[in-house]
Structures are given as structure tokens and as C-alpha cells.
Amino acid sequence: MIFRVENAGKTTPPGGIIRGILPIVLETDLYAPVRRWLEGQGYTVSAEVGNCDIVAVSPEDPEAITVVELKTRMSLDLVAQAALRKDLTESVYVAVPLRGSRGRIRNGRAVTALLRRLETGLIVVRFLRNTVRVEVLLHPRPFDPRHARRRKIRIIREIEGRYAEFDAAGRPGNKPRMSAWRQRSLRVAMLLRECGSASPAELRRRGAPEQTQRILSSNTYGWFDRVRRGVYELSEAGSEALARQPEENLRRLR
């Protein structure tokens, strides 16, 4: 059973407005707007039934129920709670509050993707300055898995292109990673340090990767200087990059 989105309810915020400041939102504050909105869609609404926050009964089928779980923020506990309600009905929603017209759920894309996989709907109760707006962002429809083939191929190529594994899993995202491209670039930089200056073809004969021409021409990290057409040498930045690498890392790149 899917809610109809039209005629979304607008009500006065619970607790009113105090000097233009929105009140602190409690779970109980979500109930009235969601209930009035559901009733406006024709549903019969009951609260706190069998551990469910809200149970809405369809006007067309008394045995078709929809469950809505309320929480003051999105959390794993809320998602787990909704998953348990799937034992009762396929029509399960979670509802959370948002403040202002620009309020967003943290990591909204990831949260929506997870709920879509769990076939669980998402309702936001948006507390504005003078009204409360109920919005349905996601309905609990059957999930059709789609594998991101292009991303999968990129991951496989990344793994195959690495000389070795240098990074520990779980490191902060703001630190540079030893990607396949960086490893290849370091390999080219090492060879240029050994021979002074060289063409891509000569570097390839010395064991440089197949992408040497692209690595030199794109110069992603600023490690190479073009001496003349088709000939490159290691830049000062490239020398510094090699000096920062532990000897063990350089040995594994040979």
C-alpha cells in the first residue's frame, strides 16, 4: 500500500513559535502532523499498537495496514526497527524531522539507497517557521538490484594495476592513497631519477608501465618536466615525492 503524495498536510508546529525560534522536536511532535496528513489521505490512524508508533488502515482494505516509525533523527536503530516491522506488512515507512526549507538528512543519498534496498519508505516532517510540511521522499516499492558494471570494471582495473598494497583499510579520506595511478607514476619517477632524462619508449624498455606516455603528458602530480619534444626528466617536486617514500615502498615498486 502506497501513500498518495498529493495534498500534503500543513499544520501549526507543536509548541508554537517562541520569538521566531523553532522549538525542540520530540518524537511525539511528529505524530500530529503525520496523523493529520494520513487522515487527509483517507486512512484510519492508530498510535502505539503492538510496538508500532503509527498504524494506518487503508479505507479500501481493512487488512491492508501501513506502519510508520517515528524518530527525532535518522539512525541505524530506526532502520532496524523498520526492518522488524516488515514481518507485519510490506508497507513500512520511517519518519524523521527536518528544520527549515533547506534542511537535509545527513548522508541522504546513502540513507535513501539503503532504505530502497530494504524496500522501506521515508517521510520527512519539515518544521518551517510558521507551518509543518509532510513530505514523502521514498515509497516502499520492490527493490530491483542494478549492479554498477562500469564501477565494478574500474575497481577490477585498479586492483590489477597496482604493484603492491600500501594502504591500510579505514584510513582517513583526506590522506593521499597509493592508487594504481600513483604507483605507476612513482615507478616512472624512479626510472627517470636513474637515467636523468628519457623518452616514453626508452622508459618502457627499462620496465615502465604501459601508460607511461599518458603519465608523463598528464603529469597529474607535477613530478615531471618536459625537456624537449618527447623527452622528460624528473622535476623538483618529483624528487621530493621520491624522498618522502620509505625505502621499503620504493623496493616494492621496482
For each of the domains in the chain, give its residue range(s) and CATH number, in order of start: 10-138 (3.40.1350), 177-253 (1.10.10)
User: So what's the pLDDT on residue 130?
Assistant: 84
pLDDT above 50: residue 21? no
CA gap 153, 207 in Å, rounded: 25
How far lies 134's CA from each of 11, 44, 184, 189, 238, in Å?
9, 17, 52, 58, 56
Query: Within 13 Å and on the Cβ side, how many CA atoms surround 229?
Result: 0
Question: What pLDDT digit, counting tens, does each position of 135-156 carry?
Answer: 999 999 999 888 888 988 999 9
User: So what's the pLDDT on residue 223?
Assistant: 96
Residues 6+ apart with CB under 8 A from 202: 195
CA gap 165, 184 in Å, rounded: 13
Q: Which residue has the cell 624522498?
A: 243
User: So what's the pLDDT on residue 141?
Assistant: 92
Say if CB 70 and CB 95 are below 8 A apart: yes
Q: What is the pTM of this model?
A: 0.65
User: So what's the pLDDT on residue 9?
Assistant: 42
* DSSP symbols for the chain: -----SS--EEPPTT--BTTBPPPP-HHHHHHHHHHHHHHTT-EEEEEETTEEEEEE-SS-TT-EEEEEE-SS--HHHHHHHHHHTTT-S-EEEEEEEESTT---TTHHHHHHHHHHTT-EEEEEEE-SS-EEEEEEE--PPP-----HHHHHHHHHHHHT-SS--PPTT--TTS----HHHHHHHHHHHHHHHHSEE-HHHHHHTT--TTHHHHHHH-TTS-EEEEETTEEEE-HHHHHHHHHS-HHHHHHH-
The chain-wide mean pLDDT, for the chain, equals: 86
User: So what's the pLDDT on residue 7?
Assistant: 37
pLDDT above 70: residue 16? no
Question: What pLDDT digit, counting tens, does each position of 75-131 carry?
Answer: 999 999 999 999 999 999 999 999 888 888 888 899 999 999 999 999 999 998 888
